[in-house]
Structure 1
Amino acid sequence: MPILDIQAIVSLDRTECAVHCNSKKRILEIISAIAANSNAKVEEDQVLASLLSRERMGSTGIGNGIALPHGRLPGLDRVIAIVVTSDPAIDFDAIDNKPVDIFFALLVPEEQTEGHLQTLAMVAGKLNDKDTVKAIRKATSSDQIVTALQQ
């Protein structure tokens, strides 16, 4: 079941603004902790293992300072997003070799494949909008990030 509306997967309790960190592994640990704290069915170490496993296949840094880390999780009943901005931007092995400061992580139920790809495409399309990205970068609170994504 594809998610066609970003509002269905983004929430304030899974959004963090201007997180201080300095490595790819650390930002993925932060994302995993946020996911686990917001959903009792999600184990932090499972999330981290899933995200790291995907990154080993190739960086999810899509360029322009944006990364879309993603992974499948058993026991998840719906797609969830974790949105984090970092200050400073960090080296994430992105395709354009530029540092990344916007992380839009997607966790999907293990058995979802088709919906997962459509959701990724929808998110990538949203993050392709220069005004949305500019608003996310200017945000000083999680509220402002969520608002930027919902415009």
Structure 2
Amino acid sequence: MKLSSIINKDCSKAAVLFNSKKRILEYISELAHEQLPNLNQHDILSALMAREKLGSTGIGKGIALPHGRIIGLEVVTALLLVNQQGVEFDAIDNRPVDIFLALIVPDGDNEQHLKTLSSIAQQLNNKEFCKQLRNASNDEELYAIIASAD
């Protein structure tokens, strides 16, 4: 799967600065609402928070894949944020997280959702790719890295 097929330029944010898990998830829900204005921002945040209550989406190495299922959504929407510093996120390796690739997915399509998560996790397992993401100085550069990785 090509990341650029589910992330657009407006959903790529480099060098953001947040200091908590909750604030990151709030910002993700704000951005998602801007992209999906027919969805309620609170519903998006609730879906993200509900998933985190099941267990952290921090997959280790400074990376988290927060995601939430939304009833009535028809397409997967992804958002990429690179925070200037690591944030405590209860990741499986207990390391702070600075790369957040969030997914807002249709409720019910579990198989496609798992394939998407697996594909993204595989791409984020590339150390050089993650280094490039972390070094992006602005949103345009961050999106260019995503597009060139495809």
Range into which the TM-score falls when normalised by the shorter chain: over 0.9
Are residues 1:84 and 2:94 paired? no
Are residues 1:74 and 2:71 paired? yes
SS at match of 1:42: coil
Name the residue aligned to 2:35: 38
Structure 1 segments of 4+ aligned residues over 3 angstroms from their partners: none
- Per-residue CA deviations over 1:61-85 (Å, capped at 9, x if unaligned) read 0001000001101121100101111
Give the counterpart letter for 1:53 in structure 2. A
Give the counterpart letter for 1:7 in structure 2. S
Give the counterpart letter for 1:57 in structure 2. L
Name the residue aligned to 1:65: 62
Does the aligned pair in 2 maintain the 1:59–1:93 contact within 8 Å? yes
Query: How is 1:5-20 mapped onto 2 (pairs within 5 angstroms)?
Result: 5-20=2-17
- Per-residue CA deviations over 1:10-45 (Å, capped at 9, x if unaligned) read 111111111111110000000000000112222110
Query: Between Structure 1 and Structure 2, how many residues are aligned?
Result: 148
Q: TM-score, normalised by structure 1?
A: 0.94
SS at match of 2:84: strand
In angstroms, what is the RMSD of aligned CA positions? 1.0
CA distance in structure 1 between the partners assigned to 2:14 and 2:75 by the alignment: 24
5+ residue gaps in structure 2? none
5+ residue gaps in structure 1? none
Name the residue aligned to 2:130: 133
